[in-house]
Each structure stands twice: as C-alpha cells, then as structure tokens.
Chain A
Amino acid sequence: MKKNIFKLYLPGLFALALTACSSDDNGTTGTKEEEETLVRTEVISNYADVVEANYAQALADAEALQDAIDTFVAEPTQANFDAAKTAWLASRESYGPSEAFRFANGPIDSGDTEELEGLLNSWPMDEAYVDYVEGDETAGLINEEAATFEITKENLIVKNGEGDTEENVSVGYHAIEFLLWGQDNTDPSEKLSGQRPYTDFVDGGTAANQDRRRLYLQLVAELLVDNLQEVADTWSSSYRTTFLALPEDEALNNILSSIAELSSSELAIERMAVALENQNQEDEHSCFSDNTHRDIRLNLEGIANVYNGTYGSVSGLSLADLIEEADADLAAELDALLTAAETAVGATAIPFDYAISDGITSEEGAKVQEAVVALTEFGNKLLEAKTSLGIE
C-alpha cells in the first residue's frame, strides 16, 4: 500500500496548513481562494468532453474512409478512386484538430497505448518502403514476393518504424495518402498533387502487384479505424476517469502545455519553418495530396478549440475563461495573438509546397514566416499563463 506525500511548496499567497487533528478551519479567510469563482474541475471536464467529441468525429470520418476504400477495392474505378480521396481529405478535417491533445500525456501517445500516434500519423515517409517510386518499380512491401512478406494487419504494424527508422512508415493516414495519390513529382508551381492512376489497383493495369496493393490499402484503412477506435474508447472509459482524478494543476498543465507545444514547436517549427528553410516538399506533412495547408489550419483550429473549450456542439468553461479571471490583460493579449495567428496562417498560399518553394525571402515564403512567428508568439505567451493560474 503506497501513501502519497503531498508536495511542499508555496505558490504565492496561499498555502494552507491543515492539521488533521484540529477542528480549526478558519484558515481561508481573506485569501485569494475565496475570490475564485470559476470551478476548475468544470474546465477540466469540459476539456474531456471536447476531446471525446473530437475523437468520436475522427473515428466516424475514418469509418467513412474505410467504406469508401472498401468500395474502391471491390470495384476499382476512377469514380470510386476519387470518392476514396475525397473521404481521405474529409477524415483529415477531424483528425487535424485532435492533434491539440497530442502532447497532453493522454492515450494518443502515452501509457499502455503510447504507440497509437505513431501508427496513425507518422511522417515524413520513405515512400519506397511501401510501394514503387520513380526510378524503382520494384520497391516497397507491396512489390515483395508474397512468400517474403505476407500483407496482414499484424505484419504491417511490425513494419511501422522497423529498424528504428522513423521514415519506415507502413501504416496510418500518410501511408493511405501515398497509396491514393502517389509521389508528388510535379513542380510546386504547377500546384498539382501526386498523380497515381487508379489503374495501379486494377488487375492487368498500371504498375505490378495490383492485388497486393488493393489488399494493402484495405488493411491500412482497417487499421486506421482500429487505432482510432482504441483512442476514442480509452478516452470515453478508463482514461477519462484517470484524467478527471488528476490533481487540478497537473490536468490544466497538460491541457495548456499541449497546445503551447503544438503551436510553437510541432506546427510552427517542425511542420512549417523547417520546410520553409529547406524549401523541400519532402518536409511537408501531407506531401502526396498537397493537403498540408489544411493540416496547418486544422492544427490551429484544434488549438483554438482547446483554448475556448469548444468542439461541434460541445461548449463550456474554458482555459480562456480561467485566464481571463486570473489576468484580464494577459487574456486580452492571448486573444489578440490567437486571432493574429489565425489571420497569418489563413494568408499563406495554397498548396503549401508552392508557398515554401522560393524560400523565406520570397513573397509567399515571407507570409509563411509571418505565420510561424505568430504561432510561436501565441504558444510562448500561453506558457506565461501558467504563472497566472498558479499551475507551474
């Protein structure tokens, strides 16, 4: 039996010494505690509602994608191929905002289910690991002999990140994206995505091993649903209980730090600034479909959802409300920075590979850089709110 020993530290004005054997309970008079009216547990449980609603939508959209892929695999036509691509783009619309929960020590990437994020959204991807690429028609797991590599869900999971090589991406959204679009070998100025023909999936059509390609596509779609199902189920059962039982400051810290990290590091730096600096399409998040501009906007939408405590029909007490109460000036500053980030991100050119292709000194590159600056400013300022909220 373990006993927890409470932390000894004195944040600012109020620390209460409770002596278990005394009935003297007038220790709170006149402290800051009494002025606090917003109930932090409500912010925390509303966040849990936001997360659950977002993952439920992501799951529903992934199921729709799986249906569209099943339809295409059963009947590989141009129309069904286009419908599958449309469904993939739609599925990113709900998954993108959910990345706001990624750095919050939740089920998506910690605890028993820590592998899920890597199975869902790994990038950048070495395309040749999965299928043929320009200059190598026999590359990839699809073009292996059936005897050498059997395409099953279990085997595809084993292959993801195999050999401690992060670019060995065998499953997830981006593996599906590559199978639907193929490599984007066009010049960014053409503003075209990958041009894989649907006949890659038709027996006797283009490329070899069409049957293995169909099976591969079908199974990665199935795995995507399995993995999202696991995230959604964990959130709506065991992890919700765990989360609501966390000390309030830890829960708030997880909520806040996660969107700060996404805003100023993962999104601004890893997904935008590096690509701009390297002027490299390969550094784009969704480089096959040229959907990176949506990824970026949707990540920011997710940040705003968490900040304002809303998703779809869910709405309640939020981080923004807490900060407003603790430090109105800071809250006003954060609102302005978030709006500025939304404006700057919205002003970046579409597709993203075109926006970055001429680097930071070009007109479009400068707009990307402005968005990077705005996102880092919001993220960094948000971290200051930890002090105001006394949750450091």
Chain B
Amino acid sequence: MCLVFISCSESDDYVPLVVEENEELSGGNATSFIFSPDAFGFSVDGLSLDEQITFGVGNSLFNQNWVTAPASTTARDGLGPFFNARSCSGCHFKDGRGRPPAFEGELAHGLLLRLSLSGTDQHGINIPDPIYGSQFQDNSILSVSNEGTLKVTYENITVTYEDGNSVELQKPTYEMVDLNYGAMDPSILVSPRVASQMVGLGLLDAIPEMVVLSYEDENDADNDGISGRANYVYDAESDGFKLGRFGWKANQPSVKQQIAAAFSGDLGITSSLFPDENCNGTLNCDEIANGGNPEITDENLDKVTFYSATLSVPARRDVDDEDVLKGKELFNTIHCSGCHIAVHETGAYEIDALANQTIRPYTDLLLHDMGEGLADNAPEYRASGVEWRTPPLWGVGLIETVNDHTNLLHDGRARTIEEAILWHGGEAEEIKNRFMALDKEERGQIIRFIETL
C-alpha cells in the first residue's frame, strides 16, 4: 500500500524532494538489508548452490588464522616469515574497515606502510627497499625478529568555518622504530594504507572499462576543476597492463590480484601470482619452513576471490528523510558528485548475479590530485604522489556499527565524515570551500546523507 501525497499548498517556491526509484538499492539486486554488525558480510542473492558453498568456504579462509609452517592444518600454514596480520579478517574485521593503531605497538588493525625507492622495474612496479621490501611488516613468526614497530604521532590542525565554528584535524607522522635489520634508506618513500570495507568489489569489477574511461578528463576540458585519470597497472596473470580499479591508488587490476597481493604482503602467504616469500638479505629463507609452493593453492585463492567479489552492499537507510534528501541535493549542488559519481550500470560479468545491475557506489574509480595535505609523495604506476583513487562511499555509514570506529581516508586520519571532507584539497579544494561556506545545518545535512550510504 503506497500513498502519494500531493501537496496542496498554493505557494510553489517549495518543491518537495522525492526519493529516486530504487535509490536505497546501492548494489542493485546485490543489496542486503541487514544492518547488524554483520552488515558487510552477507553474500549477494542469486548465487547458485555451488557458488554459495564457494562463498562460505571462502569466508572461512578469510576469517581463519594462518599459522607457522609446518603445522597439522596444512591448508593454512606458511604464515610469514614477516607479516602484518594472521588472517584477512585481522585487518578487514567483519569484512569491514581497519584503523590506525591506537597505541605504539598495537598490531594488525588494518593500517600498513608501503615502501618504495624512486624508480620502477620493467613492469612499472616500484623499486622495493633492498632490506625491508615493499611493505613494512611489524609482525613475524616466532623464530624471526619483526622488521620493527610502526609509530604514528599526530599534530592538531584547527580548521574554522565561515560561521566561526571550528574542527580539529589530526595530521599524522609515520615513523618506523626499533628496526631489527639496520637503518632505513633515507630516501625511502612511505605510503600508509588502511584496509577498506569489502562490500561490492565484484560490482566495481563489473563496471565496463569504457564507462570508467568516459569520465577521464585529464586536461579538464570541461573546466570544472576536476581532471580524473585512469591508472594502468601490471597484471600478473596476463603479464600485461590493465586498468587499475582497486586499492587506494587504483593500483590493482582485479579482485584476484588485490587478494593475492594482500596474501603476499600482509600475511606472507605465497601464491601462483606472487610466488616469492617476503624475505630479506639477512635471513636465509630457504631454511625457514614454508607452507608449500605456493602456500595458498589456486583453488583456495579463487575461493577467497569469489567470496570477496560477492559480498553484497548494504541498502541505504532513511532515504526518504528530509534532511537526507536535502543533504543529497547539496552533495550534488556543490559538486561532490563530480568524482563521487553515484550511479553506474554493470555490464556482462562472469558472476551472473553481478551482471547488468544499476549500482550506486559513489566513485569514478579514477585518480585525482587531492592536494599536499593528503599526499604521500609516493608515486605508483601513473598515480603521482598527490593522487588518490576516489574511494566508493557505499557502506561508509555502517563502519561504526561493524567496526566500532568512524575513521576514514587512506590512512584513517579522519575520525569523522566531517574531518574527511575537510582534508580534501587539490582538485577538491574548491568543492571543500563550498562545503565550508554552507551554514551549520546544511553541512549537517550533507553529513547526514553520507551516513545513510
């Protein structure tokens, strides 16, 4: 039973805002409606029985700890020797978002540091540090010392709105202390990355490439201040270059490679895509037991990949709330929607349930200059030291429910949605300034809208 109320007011300066059809279905048919702490963990509807079982087994592989080899659990041994976490869920707790450590030495909450020296190899891949590799691992198996400890310190920065209200931002500084394998190269480039919520990855993969490329505007031909560039990255499976879609710099071409890279870098688990252990010159890794070659079988890697691709997206809440509708309108008016593009159509895809869906991820998957404030100054493929991929916003409003925190941005420095907006610079500087010029109620409406995503 649905009622359409038609306003009878004669004064027509107020046009009531209305909900778009199916606006709450962020993932199209791949949307879930359970808003519990498990909200990020449900499979999409419409999977075959075999696919559902694959999802379930993938889920168990995602959650269970990997252990030091040799072990009775042969399917899950081979951890390390260096690692950041013992399981995928160590950083993506309940398939959700990580955060920076709360104190020095707190391990495995989903923030890590990528390391590189200037220059690239023949595949365009960054040159790793000769000792510490391409990622700083603050954890290790018992027989080996860890690489060191991650230390984050913050400096407060006050931002004041035109109406006099102010917000404290915290600007992080990253240090690697208690190093166990000698000093770090002084020219090392450090890029902090936090684990994102896992929802909708297969849907993003199913957006046709030409659609993504259609939003590119490298020279800002339309003069809206927003450029948008695609990243092209090395694809290990095809030994060629592909459009980057995943990761904070659009640095991974596929869900599978994103996962294999995480198994390698974050857990120290080798796979057919990344067969080399994270060793370093001072250890003889041939003498450290491994969990087989590779440590995760292709079959199990595929299961975790399938699982990660088929996590459904939570539906939006309160789409018909008036403040939310006003917030959405303002989000579009001040042009947040220039990069956070709401609606996409997925195309043909190997997983039927994800094909031909109307989805609302709020991203263009492209790289944008976000300004010096957010810069890591560590290039990756075509992404410069000031560029980041627009992150999808779906699920953002449920991070608190799932993960008991509200940290955002690539390194979790923003403690609230408001702080995240205020960190926007570069191409988004102008848009941020428009946000700052709004009155308190309007700013609150934009935030309220984002909370419903």
Interface residues of A (CB under 8 A from B): 2-11, 14-21, 33, 103, 105, 109-110, 114-115, 117-118, 163-167, 248, 253-254, 257-258, 261, 264-265, 268-270, 273-274, 277-278, 283, 372-373, 376, 383
Given contacts A5-B18, A383-B45, contact A103 B4 (CB under 8 A): no
Measured CB to CB, the closest approach of chain B to A8, in angstroms, equals 5
Q: For the complex, what is the distance from the CA of A4 to the CA of B318, rounded to whole Å? A: 9
Assuming the A-B contacts A2-B321, A114-B37, A376-B49, are A8 and B18 also in contact, with contact meaning beta carbons closer than 8 angstroms in the complex?
Answer: yes
Known: A3-B322, A265-B43, A274-B56. A105 touches B93 (CB 8 A): no
Docked Cα-Cα span, A270 to B63, in Å, equals 12
B57 to A5, Cβ gap below 8 A?
A: no
Interface residues of B in 24-73 (CB under 8 A from A): 33-38, 42-43, 45, 49, 52-53, 55-57, 59-60, 63-65
Find the B residue at minimum CB distance from A109: B36
Say whether A270 contacts B2, CB under 8 Å: no
How far is it, in angstroms, between the C-alpha of A8 and the C-alpha of B59 when the chains are bound? 37
Contact B45 A269 (CB under 8 A): no
Whether the Cβ atoms of B2 and A6 lie closer than 8 Å is yes
A17-B3, A166-B93 given; 17 more Cβ-contact pairs under 8 Å: A3-B322, A6-B2, A8-B18, A8-B21, A16-B4, A18-B3, A20-B8, A33-B1, A166-B89, A258-B34, A261-B42, A265-B42, A274-B57, A274-B60, A277-B53, A277-B56, A376-B49
Residue contact A110 to B35, C-beta cutoff 8 Å:
yes
Residue from B34, B320, B401 having most chain A Cβ neighbours under 10 A:
B34
Q: Which residues of B contact A9 (CB under 8 A)?
A: 2, 21-22
Question: How many chain B residues have a CB neighbour from A under 8 Å?
Answer: 48
Rounded to whole angstroms, the CA-CA distance of A103 and B325 in the bound complex is 28
Chain A residue with minimal CB distance to B317? A105
Nearest Cβ distance between residue B162 and chain A, in whole angstroms?
26
Say whether B188 faces chain A, with CB atoms less than 8 Å apart.
Answer: no
The answer, yes or no, to whether B19 is at the interface (CB within 8 Å) is yes
Q: Once the chains bind, are B94 and A166 in contact (CB under 8 Å)?
A: yes
Are B52 and A264 in contact (CB-based, < 8 A)?
yes
Chain B residue numbers with a CB within 8 Å of A283 are 60
Nearest A residue to B89, CB-CB: A166
Given A5-B320, A6-B320, A165-B90: A248 touches B1 (CB 8 Å cut-off): yes
Residues on B lying within 8 angstroms of A by beta carbon are 1-6, 8, 16-19, 21-22, 33-38, 42-43, 45, 49, 52-53, 55-57, 59-60, 63-65, 75, 87, 89-90, 93-94, 108-109, 320-323, 325, 401, 403
Q: Cβ of A164 and Cβ of B325 under 8 Å apart? A: no
- Could you tell me the distance between the alpha carbons of A277 and B58 in the complex, rounded to whole angstroms? 11
Q: A7-B19, A164-B109, A248-B1 are in contact. Are A17 and B35 (CB under 8 A)?
A: no
Q: Which residue of A lies closest to B56 (CB)?
A: A269
Q: A258 vs B33: C-alpha distance in the bound complex, in angstroms? A: 10
Bound Cα distance A153, B100 (Å): 28
- Given A6-B4, A19-B6, are A103 and B36 neighbors across the interface (CB < 8 Å)? yes
Q: Knowing A4-B320, A269-B52, say if A114 contacts B34 (CB, 8 Å).
A: no
Closest to B17 in A: A5
Can you list 7 A-B contacts (CB < 8 A)? A6-B5, A9-B22, A105-B36, A110-B35, A166-B89, A274-B56, A278-B57
B52 touches A265 (CB 8 A): yes
* Interface pair A164/B56, CB less than 8 Å apart: no
Tell me the bound Cα distance from A274 to B22 in angstroms: 34
Q: Which residues of A contact B34 (CB under 8 A)?
A: 103, 105, 110, 257-258, 261
Contact A20 B36 (CB under 8 A): no
Question: Contacts A17-B6, A273-B52 given: A4-B321 contact, CB under 8 Å?
Answer: yes
B395 to chain A, nearest CB (A): 16
| A19 to B8 alpha-carbon distance, docked (Å) | 7
Cβ contacts under 8 Å, A115 to chain B: 37
- By the criterion CB–CB under 8 Å, are A114 and B36 in contact? yes
Q: How far is the CB of B110 from chain A (nearest CB, A)?
A: 8
**Known contacts A109-B36, A165-B90, A269-B53: does B4 contact A17 (CB below 8 Å)?**
yes
A164-B33 CB under 8 A given contacts A2-B321, A3-B322: no
